[in-house]
Structure 1
Amino acid sequence: MVLYQNNDALMCKIFATILQDEEQDWFHTLPPLSIHSFDDLSLVFSKEYSSYRSIKKKSNHLFNVKKNPKGSLCDYVKRFKVENVMIVECDNLIPSAAFQKGLPANLLLFRELIMKDDLTLANSFALAEKHLLWDEARRVDKVLE
């Protein structure tokens, strides 16, 4: 686009071609003749999408994710995974500790996790999946009885 920086109309057209999905839909909702220069387009676009920037979360945020007493283990694991993805530059020890801390102490999974040394988050999730399978098998057995 640097080659065409003196041609506002061409810059606007090129800009429109690089937009995708929601941004492309947004561009087509602009009223006709509402943009007079590339600077106008840049300003309107920045105002529209600057509020959609994702906020970088620090690893200590994971300690706020707790298992809902009435919620399932599966829901907790899913929520924790979603929150963990939003953390930037985090070593493995903090998410693993936060995952364990978010579980109620009376849960069998919690007791198993505290007995393990140097447990990675992946291993914690694998153990949780095993518990989910056990719970599902127990439910199926009860239904069959």
Structure 2
Amino acid sequence: MDLNDGMTDPRHHLNNFKSRMYLANAFDATRCKAFSTILTKAAMKWFDMLPPKSVISFDDLSQKFLTRFSIQKDKAKHAPSLLGIKQEVGKTLRDYIEGFNKLCLEIQSLPTEVMIMGLVNGLKEGPFSQSISK
């Protein structure tokens, strides 16, 4: 499981953690103690700053975590986001394709035609972009 640094969607991270704890059949106290092992950076600093005995249950800890980091919730990505990704000068085609694919995976219900149009639109001028646009 990825560590949470306080910069990603806290609800997604919390749901992953809860699923793992459910499979482990962990008690409430165990979940509270184990939660800190998957935090890093700002999230760990926040956890360390919680006053002693200020958490009464894992649900309470979850709510505090969501309240503190809910502003970091991932923004939904849409097809027009593809227009913002370009193959930069000095970057390899492989780097561009990797970044483009990563963004495509974040977009729900992306039509193939839109994906192809975005891919071609972002290519830098050259023999490859000319041959693929034919």
What is the CA-CA distance between 1:59 and the residue it aligns to?
Answer: 0.8
Match of 1:65 among 85, 89, 104: 85
- Contact preservation (8 Å) 1:59, 1:90: yes
Match of 2:102 among 66, 72, 82: 82
Partner of 1:22: 39
What is the CA-CA distance between 1:16 and the residue it aligns to?
Answer: 2.7
Partner of 1:133: none
* Aligned residue type for 1:21: I
Output the aligned Cα RMSD: 2.9
What does 1:89-108 correspond to in 2, within 5 Å?
89-104=109-124, 106-108=125-127
Bigger relative contact order, structure 1 or 2 (CA pairs below 8 A, ≥6 apart): 2
Q: TM-score, normalized by length of structure 2? A: 0.60
* Aligned residue type for 1:110: S
- Contact preservation (8 Å) 1:12, 1:41: no
Partner of 1:112: 131
Is the counterpart of residue 46 in structure 1 residue 66 in structure 2? yes
1:40-96 CA distance string (max 9 Å, x none): 434312123323322111011101111112322222112112211211111111111
SS for the counterpart of 2:52 is coil
Which runs of 5 or more structure 2 residues have no equivalent in the other structure? 1-26
> Quick check: 84-93 or 57-66, which moved more?
84-93
Distance 1:48 1:63 in 2: 33
Larger Rg: 1
Distance 2:101 2:93 in 1: 12
SS for the counterpart of 1:77 is helix
What does 1:30-41 correspond to in 2, within 5 Å?
30-36=50-56, 40-41=60-61
What is the CA-CA distance between 1:14 and the residue it aligns to?
Answer: 6.3
Identity %: 21
